[in-house]
Structures are given as structure tokens and as C-alpha cells.
Amino acid sequence: MPGDPARVYGTYRQALRDLRTALGPENRLLHELSWEEDQALAAVSLTLFPARFDGLGWPAEHVLTQAVEPDYERAARLLGDLVLQHSPEHADAVVFWGNLAIPTVRLPARLAAANAGELMDTGDDVWIYLPDRNVLVEYWHSGRITAGKLS
């Protein structure tokens, strides 16, 4: 079936090229997730809130931090800071993009934070799930950044 998301998932792996280059030797710590892994992790994070035309529909009681930062460089720093703030040392992060053709990846949260601008460049909208603290951080292309507790 042509509209089957599972058939589209991960077909644009070259979108990760610049991220892999930015990671340098630590590129070995970046793992592309299978469709099944993507769906399992999305079910406990990304898909808990309704998707809207302006990002996720965050219930107020789940929002830890929300800001709008129109300056791209400052937005990247804020995104990285939020990832570090909400992840313990040596924790992993799972990164989803708003385009299923770009495969979801798992990498150390410290690398996600240090390369937040590259994550934003990879896809217009990005969600970083921090499973150790059950926090989701959203960067929406308008410059809105939200960190929320999932349970």
C-alpha cells in the first residue's frame, strides 16, 4: 500500500549525514531505530498528546517549560540546555522528526544536547524523548520549545 507509513519510514537516511559528520568519532554511538522500535517509543512519548497544526497539544499540567525563541542559534542552545537539564548523566535520548522518512535515532543525551542545532537542521520539527526521566522536549519550527513530563 503506497500510503503505508511503515514503507516510508527510514527511507531518507541521507538526512542524517550532516549529523553523523558533526558527531565525528562519536557517530558510532548513534543508532537508527527500526520501525517497530520507533512505534514502541512513540507510543510511550510522542503520540500521548494530540498532534495539531502548531505542534503537540500539551495539557498545561504536563508542561515543565515552554518558550518561544525566534532566534535560531538561541533556540538551539535552549533546546540543548533543556535536554541536559532533564536527563541524568550517561542517559540516552531518542530523537523523532516530523518526517517519517527520516529514521528515529537513539544517542547519548549529551550528544543530542551538544548537537541540538544539527537536530533542528535535520528536520523542521524535532522531539527528543528522555526515557530515564520520562520527559519529552519539542522544538517546533516556529521557535516554540516545550519540555513536558509524560506521566
Which amino acid does the sequence have at 104?
T
CA distance 89 to 147: 18
3-state SS class at 29: helix
Nearest of 61, 80, 92 to residue 137 by alpha carbon: 80
| Number of residues assigned to the chain | 151
pTM confidence score: 0.95
Q: pLDDT by residue for the chain (151 residues), tens digit each?
A: 457 889 999 999 999 999 999 999 999 999 999 999 999 999 999 999 988 888 899 999 999 999 999 999 999 999 999 999 999 999 999 999 999 999 999 999 999 999 999 999 999 899 999 999 999 999 999 999 999 999 7
Is the separation of the CB atoms in 13 and 103 below 8 Å? Answer: yes
Q: Beta-carbon neighbour count of residue 34 at 10 Å? A: 13
- DSSP class of 96: E
Which amino acid does the sequence have at 6?
A
Nearest of 145, 8, 13 to residue 72 by alpha carbon: 145
Cα angle 144-137-124, degrees, rounded to a multiple of 5: 55
